[in-house]
Amino acid sequence: MEAILDILRSTRLTGGVFLEADFSAPWCIRAQVDPEDCRPFTRVPRNIVAYHYVADGRFSLALDGEAPVEVERGEIVVLPQNRPHTMGSTLEIPPVLPASLIQPGADGGLARLVLGGGGERTRVLCGFLGNDTPDDPALAILPPVLKVNVADGAAAAWIESSLKFAAAELAGGVVRSPELLAKLAELLFLEAVRRYVTALPSDPRWREGLRDPMVGRALALLHGRMSQRWTAGALAREVGLSRSALAERFTKLLGEPPIRYLARLRLQQAARRLEASADSIARIAFQVGYESEAAFNRAFKREFGEPPAAWRKRRAECREAG
């Protein structure tokens, strides 16, 4: 899985911070980085990665059909495929489309958005990263939302202090270093990806698989549309190969045929969701592509040696025990 990081490091990521938002509860917006948001910083990249850094306060963020993610002060949330999302102090009120409310920045400064009902305050820096790799499989394979706390783990102390400095500038009503913030966002994006991939099985064959245009496309489809009812024939048609040619190419590089790979992928993702969320087992089974909880329970037990409920309970007990 480290191949994802290798590929992302080797592609030139461009980006910028284009908006500072000052929200007060209650508030809720529908958001997505528009290509026009990128033009002041670079020509519009082929692939856009959206991010939000929380300088103060908190908010909930949800993609259509996905459970909400809670984001708090000091955290950056990244959307590798720039999917439309809803964010707010509450997601129970109708979202506002913010485009007509954005105030252009003065003297080359950041555009500004002020919205809300006057309650608890949340301040957010919004930006983007991007590259021009056609159908970038590394980005397509990543989950739709990644979150990282700048104070945790391998996020260097100087990154945290720099973002705190930027937050202080924001509190004073001005951001003097948008280029620095964009570079920090790139480093934090790579850190968020690193944390994600280190939780997945490592396999040196991944690098060759991702770099192969056909196998890379197949991997992106399987990861990006994991819950779809894939067959070997349907995947081959999407990729543009015959069923036998894709199976041979995929197996040569990854060591197993694509549908068997998909079965393992679904169970690995289910295990992550069992550990990281309070969602029901039935909901998680559906999210990763199983049509029945019973079929999921049988497959999970074959892979991990115990049913998902017992596995989740044991993992929780291990965490509590340190």
Supply 201's token pair. Answer: 């099985």
pLDDT averaged per 10 residues in sequence order, the chain, 322 residues = 60 73 96 82 81 90 88 88 94 92 72 92 87 70 80 54 58 58 71 69 62 82 85 94 94 89 88 85 92 94 93 86 70
Where do the domains of the chain lie, and which CATH numbers do they carry? 2-198 (2.60.120.10), 205-320 (1.10.10.60)
SS3 (DSSP) at 66 = coil
Cis amide bond preceding 26, omega within 30:
yes
Q: Would you say 320 and 275 are in contact if contact means Cβ atoms under 8 Å apart?
A: no
Predicted local confidence at residue 99, as pLDDT: 84
What DSSP string runs through 147-210? EEETTSTTS-HHHHHHHHHHHHHHHTT--S-HHHHHHHHHHHHHHHHHHHHHTS---THHHHHH
Structure tokens belonging to residue 1: 């899985």
- Give the pLDDT score at 62: 94
Picking from 257, 212, 211, the residue whose alpha carbon sits closest to that of residue 231 is 257
As a whole number of Å, the CA-based R_g of the chain is: 21
- Beta strands 75-79 and 146-149, pairing class: antiparallel
